Amino acid sequence: MCGRFILVQKLEKLEARFNVTAIPELIFTPSFNISPGKTSLIISSDSPDKIQAAVFGLTPFWAKKPMFLFNARAEGDRNKENDPNFRGAKDIINKPSFRKPIRSQRCLVPADAFIEGTTTEGLSKPFLVFLKNKQRPFAFAGIYDDWKNPITNELIRSFSIITTTANSFMQKLPHHRSPVILEQWQEKKWISSKTALTDITDMLKPCNPDILNAYPISESIKNPKNDNADLIKPIGDTIEKETDFSIKNTLSNQGFGRNNRHF
């Protein structure tokens, strides 16, 4: 699962990193605790040169009420045991909520880091997971849909982050899933309408475990109302202690604040 993530970059940095411009009406509030139901930013296949707001937690266009499907399993109903060695079909293409979005409504979900709990204790034992060498922001592979509220007639755009099998790093936490983190060269292909579906499903793999690191944080992150820099303070050592102490030290002292000169 990936039910919490962080995005606190300046909008100008996001525009430069993804070679996009913000839609004129965009109001962006940085967050240390983006949870289902909150609004964040996406770059969608119908506006690949723009960055816009959307609700975290997809509601299919046909739904009668909000559903907040915040993760979409690459395997669909297959691999229910979450075997990390699963190499079978990417059955997301057949799931009713996702079969249309995976074909034509894909998006990039910018993030600075994400929060993951352990398989058995969940967010009672959370870790902040980040990319080494200050690789932020990065992009999750996402899908989106537009839902019309039948009471207010408001059109709401929402998104899911796609998850796949756990790579060897995520297994160290331990956790049984990995969000799909795209390599930079994959990002434009992911949101291009010209990319074949087979090429899309080929991207639904766990990232290289060597690019990740993590450290434990307070379980205060469980409360979606909590949203401040103290949430990401380390309460223990990084998983990869021997090579990434300097990264942990930077995060501990500087955090992910908008005015962080390290960005």
Q: Which residue has the higher pLDDT, 184 or 259?
A: 184
- pLDDT for the residue 255: 44
Residues 56/90, Cβ–Cβ less than 8 Å: no
> Percent of the chain scored above 90 by pLDDT?
90
Residue 203 lies in a domain: yes
How much is the pTM? Answer: 0.92
Q: What is the mean pLDDT of residues 186-210?
A: 97
Q: Does residue 139 sit in helix, strand or coil? A: strand
**C-alpha span between 211 and 56 (Å, rounded):** 25
**C-alpha span between 162 and 24 (Å, rounded):** 28
**49 pLDDT exceeds 50?**
yes
- pLDDT for the residue 1: 72
Residue 252 lies in a domain: no
Q: What is the mean pLDDT of residues 13-37?
A: 96
Please report, as a single letter, which amino acid is at residue 205.
Answer: K
Domain that holds residue 39: 4-116+132-210
Catalytic site includes residue 75: no
Residues 164/78, Cβ–Cβ less than 8 Å: no
| Two structure tokens written together for 156 | 């709401």
Residue-wise pLDDT for 112-163, tens only, equals 999 999 999 999 999 999 999 999 999 999 999 999 999 999 999 999 999 9
Residue-wise pLDDT for 205-250, tens only, equals 999 999 999 999 999 999 999 999 999 999 999 999 745 444 445 4
Q: Given the residues 75, 116, 187, 240, select the one marked as catalytic.
A: 116
Q: Which residue has the tokens 């080929």?
A: 202
Residue 146 lies in a domain: yes
Residue 22 lies in a domain: yes
Catalytic site includes residue 240: no
Residue 147 lies in a domain: yes
Residues 58/67, Cβ–Cβ less than 8 Å: yes
- pLDDT for the residue 241: 79
State the total domains in the chain.
1
pLDDT band at 259 (very low <50, low <70, confident <90, very high): very low
Residue-wise pLDDT for 165-179, tens only, equals 999 999 999 999 999
- pLDDT for the residue 66: 95
How would you class 12 by CB atoms within 10 Å of its CB: exposed for 0-12, middle for 13-18, buried for 19 or more? exposed
CATH at residue 61: 3.90.1680.10
- pLDDT for the residue 9: 95
**C-alpha span between 237 and 218 (Å, rounded):** 13
Residue-wise pLDDT for 69-117, tens only, equals 999 999 999 999 999 999 999 999 999 999 999 999 999 999 999 999 9
Residues 102/133, Cβ–Cβ less than 8 Å: no
Q: Given the residues 2, 75, 187, 207, select the one marked as catalytic.
A: 2
- pLDDT for the residue 244: 44
- pLDDT for the residue 248: 43
Residue 216 lies in a domain: no
Helical segments of 56-163, H only: 99-104
Q: How far is CA 231 from the centre of its chain?
A: 18
Residue 222 lies in a domain: no
| Two structure tokens written together for 257 | 């604040």
Residues 127/171, Cβ–Cβ less than 8 Å: no
Residue 55 lies in a domain: yes
How would you class 17 by CB atoms within 10 Å of its CB: exposed for 0-12, middle for 13-18, buried for 19 or more? middle
